[in-house]
């Protein structure tokens, strides 16, 4: 009879656990989280923490729950008379209480997000199966801001619009074709989206301004386009796949970072010669290399200081030298991150005009600048990356400068940034609206 009772208790416990898993499965789906995580011990409390935007609390509770298992096994198989048996019991009790405390913190925050009484948190702590079942099946317990949650499904662009947006993003055999489906990184148990749905074709001879607030993914975008960090994407340069042919194409792509790494005790000429040795084909002769260096010196207005030490250069001259070092290989795609940083208006505009001349030679120049309005007239196109409410970099606009002013309803680049930046960053928090608006416009243009 006792055996039958034990089996019935085991069956009851299993059924209770399965109901808990089913409830959590349905609850996780409300937050766009894969429901199968509900069946993974430890991980389920972590994801509950993610739902409440208490990821660190979820991690602590998960670790405590996972550690309870080996300690419980040790207590079960060891002799209670051993000297460290009580110590194991004490550790297990500490882990149990810690897990309960952090679970309570998570559930209290969840109650606030769901706009329900915080008394529901105690049901989660002591009767998890019942709470999970009720919250999972009842529409009353649905997140009020699911868009800010887990980066899985994309409710920002409905599936049909997302599919149509992707399909209308064709590629070109000339210029730069960018078709980034997403760029993700692994973070603990989940996958975070850094970029998604960024499609454009940039024609040769165009100078493009890359605009976006902090965290909008500008650097990630540049790294993906230049092949430095690959994304789930197709990047074509004159029809050639940058990722597949990177070893052949890396010298046709130039990137100038914000900070230079120039040795101060070399002359300007020797600095450029060193760059030429590194970047030009190995079969390039000395005379041809010298001719190329002198040509670049003249192009960037550095001929008069070619024999001067780098440490003697002005800020503007040093900035031009750092750009010239990367341009020595005559790249077809030239990307610059804040080349005018630290320069006054006159010198900055002069530098940008030199970049404009490079684009006029049939090359593609992409520039990030934090003072876009003073040089906006020099650019052909504008790329606007926006951090959506799920903190993912999205394409909010690509097109001409003049069209951008009409699209965003503002006459300045700073005005565009103010519209798309999140409210906690001093903006209007309208990034989601413009991401949708741009996608809908592109799809409508193809119909």
How many angstroms separate the CA atoms of 227 and 104, rounded?
45
pLDDT of residue 268: 92
pLDDT of residue 402: 94
Q: What is the pLDDT of residues 298-328, one digit of tens each?
A: 999 999 999 999 899 988 889 899 999 999 9
**pLDDT over threshold 80, residue 8:** no
The rounded mean pLDDT for the chain is: 86
List of residues 6+ apart from 178 with CB closer than 8 A = 198, 199, 200, 201, 202, 225, 233, 235
Q: Which 3 state secondary structure label does DSSP give 394?
A: strand
Q: Where are the beta strands (DSSP E) in 145-278?
A: 176-187, 190-202, 207-212, 232-237, 240-241, 253-256
How many angstroms separate the CA atoms of 26 and 137, rounded?
7
What's the pTM?
0.76
Q: Which one has a higher pLDDT value, 9 or 153?
A: 9
Q: Using 50, 70 and 90 to split pLDDT, how confident is the model at 283?
A: confident
Contact present, 140 and 420 (Cβ < 8 Å)? no
Q: Stretch 275-282: mean pLDDT, rounded?
A: 87
List of residues 6+ apart from 340 with CB closer than 8 A = 319, 347, 348, 351, 352, 369, 371, 375
How many angstroms separate the CA atoms of 256 and 111, rounded?
49
CA angle 348, 222, 212 (to 5 degrees): 65
**pLDDT over threshold 60, residue 424:** yes
Q: Using 50, 70 and 90 to split pLDDT, how confident is the model at 376?
A: very high
Q: What is the pLDDT of residues 215-261, one digit of tens each?
A: 899 999 999 999 999 999 999 999 999 999 988 888 899 999 887 77
**107-111, 159-163, 234-238: which has the minimum mean pLDDT?**
159-163
pLDDT of residue 82: 65
Q: Stretch 39-47: mean pLDDT, rounded?
A: 89
Q: Which one has a higher pLDDT value, 398 or 6?
A: 398
Helix (H) or strand (E) holding 385: strand 381-387
pLDDT of residue 124: 81
Q: Would you kindly state where each structural domain of the chain is located, as residue ranges?
A: 2-148, 159-446
Helices 43-51 and 2-29 pack at an angle, to 10 degrees, of: 30
pLDDT of residue 223: 94
Contact present, 366 and 210 (Cβ < 8 Å)? yes
Q: What does the radius of gyration of the chain's CA atoms come to, in whole angstroms?
A: 29
CA dist 97 → 40, 76, 164, 245 (Å): 21, 19, 51, 56
pLDDT of residue 80: 65
pLDDT of residue 52: 84
Q: Could you tell me the CATH superfamily of domain 159-446?
A: P-loop containing nucleotide triphosphate hydrolases (3.40.50.300)
pLDDT of residue 230: 92
| Lookup: tokens for 122 | 């105690």
pLDDT of residue 158: 66
pLDDT of residue 396: 95
Q: Stretch 387-398: mean pLDDT, rounded?
A: 90
Q: Which residue blocks in 384-430 are alpha helix, DSSP H?
A: 401-408, 413-420
Q: Using 50, 70 and 90 to split pLDDT, how confident is the model at 355?
A: very high
CA dist 375 → 70, 207, 326, 447 (Å): 64, 11, 22, 35
| Lookup: tokens for 137 | 């099946």
């Amino acid at each position: 009879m006792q055996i039958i009772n034990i089996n019935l208790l085991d069956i009851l416990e299993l059924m209770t656990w399965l109901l808990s898993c089913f409830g959590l499965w349905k609850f996780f789906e409300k937050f766009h989280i894969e429901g199968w995580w509900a069946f993974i011990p430890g991980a389920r409390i972590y994801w509950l923490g993610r739902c409440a935007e208490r990821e660190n609390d979820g991690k602590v509770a998960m670790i405590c729950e996972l550690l309870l298992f080996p300690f419980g096994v040790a207590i079960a198989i060891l002799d209670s008379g051993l000297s460290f048996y009580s110590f194991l019991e004490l550790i297990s009790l500490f882990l149990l209480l810690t897990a309960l405390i952090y679970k309570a913190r998570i559930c209290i925050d969840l109650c606030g997000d769901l706009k329900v009484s915080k008394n529901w948190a105690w049901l989660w702590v002591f009767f998890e199966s019942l709470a999970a079942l009720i919250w999972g099946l009842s529409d009353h317990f649905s997140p009020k801001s699911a868009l800010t949650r887990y980066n899985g499904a994309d409710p920002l662009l409905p599936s049909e619009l997302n599919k149509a947006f992707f399909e209308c993003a064709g590629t070109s055999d000339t210029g730069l074709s960018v078709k980034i489906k997403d760029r993700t990184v692994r973070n603990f148990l989940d996958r975070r989206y850094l970029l998604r749905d960024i499609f454009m074709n940039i024609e040769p001879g165009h100078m493009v301004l890359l605009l976006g607030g902090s965290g909008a993914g500008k650097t990630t975008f540049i790294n993906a386009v230049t092949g430095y960090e690959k994304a789930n994407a197709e990047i074509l340069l004159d029809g050639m796949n940058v990722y597949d042919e990177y070893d052949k194409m890396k010298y046709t792509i130039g990137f100038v970072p914000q900070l230079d790494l120039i040795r101060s005790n070399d002359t300007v000429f020797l600095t450029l010669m060193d760059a030429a040795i590194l970047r030009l084909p190995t079969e390039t002769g000395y005379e041809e290399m010298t001719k190329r260096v002198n040509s670049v010196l003249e192009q960037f207005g550095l001929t008069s200081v070619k024999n001067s030490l780098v440490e003697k250069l002005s800020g503007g001259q040093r900035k031009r030298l750092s750009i010239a070092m990367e341009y020595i290989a005559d790249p077809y795609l030239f990307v610059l991150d804040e080349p005018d940083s630290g320069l006054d208006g006159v010198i900055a505009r002069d530098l940008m005009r030199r970049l404009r001349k490079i684009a006029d030679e049939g090359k593609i120049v992409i520039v990030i600048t934090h003072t876009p309005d003073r040089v906006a007239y020099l650019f052909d196109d504008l790329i606007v990356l926006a951090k959506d409410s799920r903190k993912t970099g999205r394409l909010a606009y690509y097109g001409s400068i003049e069209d951008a002013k009409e699209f965003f309803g503002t006459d300045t680049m700073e005005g565009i940034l103010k519209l798309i930046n999140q409210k906690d960053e001093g903006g209007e928090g309208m990034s989601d609206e413009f991401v949708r608006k741009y996608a809908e416009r592109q799809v409508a243009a193809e119909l």
